Structure 1
Amino acid sequence: MNKKSYKIKNISIIGAGNVSTRLSIILQKKKYNILQVYSRTQKSAEKLSNLIKCANITDLKKLSNEVDLYIICVKDDVINKVVEKIKNKNIPIIHTSGSTDINELKDFNTRGVFYPLQSFNKKIHVSFEEIPICLESNNKKFLQELTLMAKKISNSVQELNSQQRQFLHISAVFASNFTNHMVSISESILIENNIDSEIIKPLLFHTMNKLNNHQATICQTGPAIRNDKKVIKGHMKLLEKNPEIQKIYLEISKSIYNYENKEL
């Protein structure tokens, strides 16, 4: 490897979950060579390695010293454990976490972050071109190479420091994870009352489409922003048999009213 140019061609992927699967596939399509895949279990290591036709390992001591880059795609709470077990600290390394500081990789001479802002599922295809990728590195030349790699798979690439990325991750939890949970509750209410859950989807699509042209605060509607106490009281009564959902309904309603009326 030419250390001055940091040219990336051969890669070892650490992890065999949703992110590593999707990232491995797209990088391979863009002519990067995935040399090996690591996973704690032989089954998951073989599954991904068979998919992309590369070697697989279950021991981090067997990571190749002939690659240009290590990519860590594991759960946030085990990144530090993985890092401790990697012997060669001279090979550039990146992680793909939104909430993990780049300093978790401080023992490596050349390090970075390659964070795709998207939730991944092995069974659901996502076009990487539409996924924003956020980069960070301790080395300008290495950052340039990461930028080239990112731009080959995404139309949206930007540099964020660790704190900015962590706030972005919080924002993503609200926008995606919490939203999906709200929809799950909505569906459960419909199903429990013998209503086809598909009926809510046109409203969901319309709500999301509005956000393409307007800020969310402008689009907010419903009884909470109007402080329609009669409607809210009626809803609370209907939810008496499900105190957990009732509690969520009340807290979110309070939050909407306070936020939109700037009474935080």
Structure 2
Amino acid sequence: MKVVIVGAGNVATHLAKALLAANVQIAQVWSYHYANAKLLADQVHATAIENLAVLDKTADICLISVKDDAIAEIAQQLIDFKGVIAHTSGSVNIDVLSGSANYGVFYPLQTFSKDKELSFSTVPLCIEANNDITLQLLKKLANQLSNRVVEIDSEKRKILHLAAVFACNFTNHFYALAEEVLTAHQLEFDILRPLITETAAKVQQSLPLTVQTGPAIRNDEQTLKKHEELLLQQPQLLEIYKIVSESIKKTR
């Protein structure tokens, strides 16, 4: 199987490395910035290209891994591609690729950073296709990379992506807010790392609702009031604290 990759960001980088490790041939890598394409292509023994017009027409699959807003524009430039075209977005409908004959979605449900290695075999791969032949091809590729391949349509994938934003992006933002609170009082973020690790470990075995702790779930009004007083000089954080605390109270 021969694959070309359109994009050279975090997702594209991890995906390309996983393909290489699975002995899948990566023919070409394209990016808006040729230097980025060259950097990734060199790592996965592929050819970097500057123009999509020279995309390898003999490739079996073209994986589009660019920002969501750019997928439609890229897809328009690939309508003559004879293989399967698939994007890697969690929130973009499969129909954005409908100008092609065979198309689908190849969405890895994970947070990626270029410099942080991870095992792709544990990453859930969510796939969708416009016909069964395309689905089987994407499934075959997915099974070479991951131990968990899930068929999921665009509507449910949007819900999944929304949930992922709460579970990952918002949670990480809360870490940043916690750091802001600590820094304002000359305390180091490092002291929270064991707590963060244990909290994440709990939900590997239990549902989040059953392991909720803290003053809001206990309805500890005195502690809540003290926390709010500490945030009086940070009105945005105070508002967030109140909203989240009320949300937790309602789950009791």
How would you bin the TM-score normalised by the shorter chain?
over 0.9
User: SS of 1:66's equivalent?
Assistant: coil
Contact 1:112 1:137 in 2 (8 A): yes
Runs of 4+ displaced beyond 4 Å: none
Equivalent residues in 2 for 1:51-130 (5 A)? 51-130=43-122
Distance 1:212 1:68 in 2: 37
- Equivalents in 2 of 1:256, 1:54: separation in Å? 50
Alignment size in residue pairs? 252
For the Cα contact (< 8 Å) 2:91–2:158, is it kept in 1? yes
Q: For 2:30, which of 9, 22, 38 is the aligned residue?
A: 38
What does residue 248 of structure 1 align with? 240
Structure 2 partner of 1:5: none
Q: Where does residue 48 of structure 1 map in the other structure?
A: 40
1:81 counterpart SS class: helix
> What is the 5 A alignment of 1:132-211?
132-211=124-203
Report the CA distance between 1:251 and its aligned residue. Answer: 1.0
Post-superposition CA distance 1:129-163 (Å, at most 9, x none)? 11011111112122122112111111111100111
Shift of 1:90: 2.9
Residue 215 in structure 1 maps to residue 211 in structure 2: no
Deviation at 1:232, TM superposition (A): 1.2
Identity of aligned residues (%): 38
Q: 1:42 to 1:26 in 2, by over 3 A?
A: same
Kept in 1: contact 2:8–2:40 (CA 8 A) = yes
The farther-off stretch of 18-27 and 136-145 is 136-145
CA contact (8 A) 1:61 1:87 kept: no
- Contact 1:16 1:39 (8 Å CA) reproduced: yes
Q: Deviations over 1:79-123 (max 9, x none)?
A: 001111224143211110110111011111111111100011111
Structure 2 Cα separation of the partners of residues 172 and 153 of structure 1 = 21
- TM-score, normalization: structure 1? 0.92
CA contact (8 A) 1:133 1:157 kept: yes
Counterpart Cα distance in 1 of 2:38 and 2:192: 41
Q: C-alpha separation between the residues in 2 aligned to 1:199 and 1:21?
A: 32
Gap regions ≥5 residues in structure 2: none
TM-score, normalised relative to structure 2:
0.96
Match of 1:235 among 227, 230, 239: 227
Whether the 8 Å CA contact 1:91–1:108 is kept in 2: the answer is no
**Of 189-198 and 131-140, the range deviating more from structure 2:** 189-198
1:241 deviation in Å? 1.4
TM-fit CA distance, 1:29: 1.8
What one-letter code is carried by the residue in structure 2 that aligns with 1:23? Answer: L
Cα contact 2:79–2:99 (8 A) shared by 1: no
- 1:225 paired to 2:220: no
Indicate the RMSD between aligned Cα atoms, in angstroms.
1.2
Maintained 8 Å contact 1:22/1:122: yes
Aligned 8 A contact 2:87 2:106 in 1: yes
Q: Distance in 1 between matches of 2:80 and 2:195?
A: 53
Q: Deviations along 1:141-188, whole A, 9 cap, x unmatched?
A: 221221121111111111001111110000100001111111111122
